[in-house]
Chain A
Amino acid sequence: MTGSPEAGSVSDARLASVLDTAVDAILVINERGEILVFNKACEKLFGYTPEEAIGQNVRMIMPTGYADRHEGYIDNFLRTGHRKIIGIGREVHAIHRDGTEFPVELSVGEAFTPDGRQFIGIIRDLRPRKEQERRVNELQADLVHIARVSAMDEMGAALAHELNQPLTAIMLYLQAATRTLARAQENQVVPGDSFRQVLDKAVHEAERAGNIISRMRHFVEKRDPHRRAVDLNAVVDEAVELTLLGQRLPPRIERDYGENLPSAVVDPVQIQQIVVNLLRNAFEAVRDRPGPTVTIRTARVRDMLTVTVSDNGPGLNPGVVPTLFKAFSTSKRTGMGLGLSISRTIAQNHAGDLTVEPGGNGRGASFTLHLPVTSAVSQDDDEDKVGDVAAGKAGA
């Protein structure tokens, strides 16, 4: 390595050439954190020339928080030999000369030289990857939304019918009220109480129509995914009600909700999307079956919350099971075959999963949504944790 008196000039030149050819930023520091090697990619990434950087403390390319702790990390490692980053590599933040902070992937190796121990850092800019991830997330959110709208579209005719009921009732009540009013104006005796009752009923029906609209709107409106702590049973129940809206002749619904479940940190609309999808599939499976029944069960199983939707239909055809969660592979006449694929994606984005017991031989299918009890730690918490680990809370 640079600075080694034994290193011949030829191999020095070769090494320098290798370092400068590398796409990744590579730097070498000593035990005191002084920069010994700073390659071309480093120059591009951080905005300092090797002349400016070499001899400086490596904290110059670290954000304040890390920089303050970095010496502590090195000391800690030297004292305890506890490896938290060496040979592992992790995501940290770096800072450019112009003050821009950005995410990098840092891998650290150590070398024993006659001049003492040295650390070699290889740094890769994570911004392009982050941007790509952001884009993928955005597209995925769009797709999830489209699937939700598509589900609502498939339910559309039934929902229109559902709205027709209160509208019909409102018109009839109001017409009846108008007639009563007309008679009152002709000085006929009319019962005031029943007049008011009729108007109250009309209001009630209008509220019913409004509730149907707001349920639908809540479900299809495009908004950014938002996770918060929610009562899973309430979220599931709302999804059941939403699905029932579009069902004129629903199967028997058995709700077996676990009591005192811890709250789940989820995007409630996305979770409802999964449940609506599972319920609609179940409803379809039991149509034209004797005593059609769909059971919805919520429970806590160790550190996971589960929502299970089972039906007493014929079970799944073994042929469809392998491709069940693949997009565009549908065994149904209508729909895009996106429901289960997107449902599983949503579940996995929540650090959970969607699994199936296909049933058959007299047993219906059963789908289970698994969600972690303590869902996705927020980004900030995550970074803190990295900091702590890197700081080598070696005592722990």
Chain B
Amino acid sequence: MGILGASVTVHILEDDPGVSDSLQTYMKGLGHEAVVYRDAESFFGREPPAASDTIIVDLFLPGIGGAKVIGWLMGLKNPPRVIAISGQAQSVIDRQLSGVAGNFDILRKPLSPHTIAQMV
């Protein structure tokens, strides 16, 4: 992390402008690079993330859903750190993520800034 450890690039996939901007502000405050994508399509339009990057992805994205993005990231040879975020009910989250295997974290909104800082 910026102060505590190495600076990383954080990719934020979140369509809510308030949430994505505050996440970006917060991550930059921690000394990280932070890039915001309004949807999965624009994320896929860029070069694939490095293994050292962190992806914060909202599960309920318009168009291609967050679960699809996670599935794709988990299939990479060197998957980056992935944090799924969602404000939906647990049952909805479970349904969305059924069949998505791999090593990633899930945080429910409202997010704890401390927790997400530690995870990145």
Contact = CB atoms under 8 A, between A and B. Distances in A.
A176 interface: yes
B109 interface: yes
A175 B113 contact: yes
B78 interface: no
Given A169-B22, A198-B25, A249 B60 contact: yes
B71 interface: no
B87 A205 contact: no
A202 B26 CA distance: 12
B23 to A, nearest CB: 6
Size category, B interface: 20 to 34
A263 interface: no
A172 B87 CA distance: 15
A168 B25 contact: no
B21 A249 contact: no
A186 to B, nearest CB: 11
Given A171-B113, A175-B113, A161 B22 contact: no
Nearest to B28: A176
Interface in B89-120: 89, 92, 109-114
Given A164-B87, A168-B109, A205 B25 contact: no
A229 interface: no
Given A173-B26, A180-B29, A208 B18 contact: yes
Interface in A154-212: 157, 160-162, 164-173, 175-176, 179-180, 198, 201-202, 204-205, 208
Nearest to A208: B18
B20 to A, nearest CB: 9
A166 B25 contact: no
Contacts of B89: 157
Contact of A179 (B18, B29, B109, B110): B29
A248 interface: yes
A173 B87 contact: no
A161 B62 contact: no
Query: A162, A175, A179, A201 — which one has the most chain B CB atoms within 10 A of its CB?
Result: A175
Contacts of A248: 60, 88
B41 interface: no
B109 A167 contact: yes
Given A169-B19, A176-B29, A208-B18, A161 B111 contact: no
B8 interface: no
Contact of B87 (A165, A170, A208, A249): A165
A176 B18 contact: no
Given A176-B29, A249-B62, A157 B88 contact: yes
Query: A162, A165, A173 — which one has the most chain B CB atoms within 10 A of its CB?
Result: A165
B16 to A, nearest CB: 5
A316 B22 CA distance: 44
A172 B109 contact: no
A161 B88 contact: yes
B30 interface: yes
Nearest to B108: A164
B61 to A, nearest CB: 9
B21 A169 contact: yes
A172 B60 contact: no
Contacts of A167: 109-110
Query: B22, B29, B89, B114 — which one has the most chain A CB atoms within 10 A of its CB?
Result: B22
A162 B86 CA distance: 11
Contacts of B113: 171-172, 175-176
A170 B60 CA distance: 20
Contacts of B21: 169, 201
Contact of A173 (B22, B60, B110, B114): B22
Given A157-B88, A161-B88, A208-B18, A171 B60 contact: no
A295 to B, nearest CB: 20
Contact of B22 (A160, A162, A172, A249): A172
A170 B22 CA distance: 8
B115 to A, nearest CB: 11
Query: B23, B89, B113, B114 — which one has the most chain A CB atoms within 10 A of its CB?
Result: B113
Contacts of A202: 22
Across the A-B interface, the 3 shortest Cβ-Cβ residue pairs: A164-B87, A172-B22, A175-B113
Interface of A: 157, 160-162, 164-173, 175-176, 179-180, 198, 201-202, 204-205, 208, 248-249
20 contacts: A160-B87, A161-B87, A168-B18, A168-B19, A169-B21, A171-B110, A171-B113, A172-B19, A172-B111, A172-B113, A173-B22, A173-B25, A175-B26, A175-B114, A176-B25, A179-B30, A201-B21, A202-B22, A205-B18, A205-B22
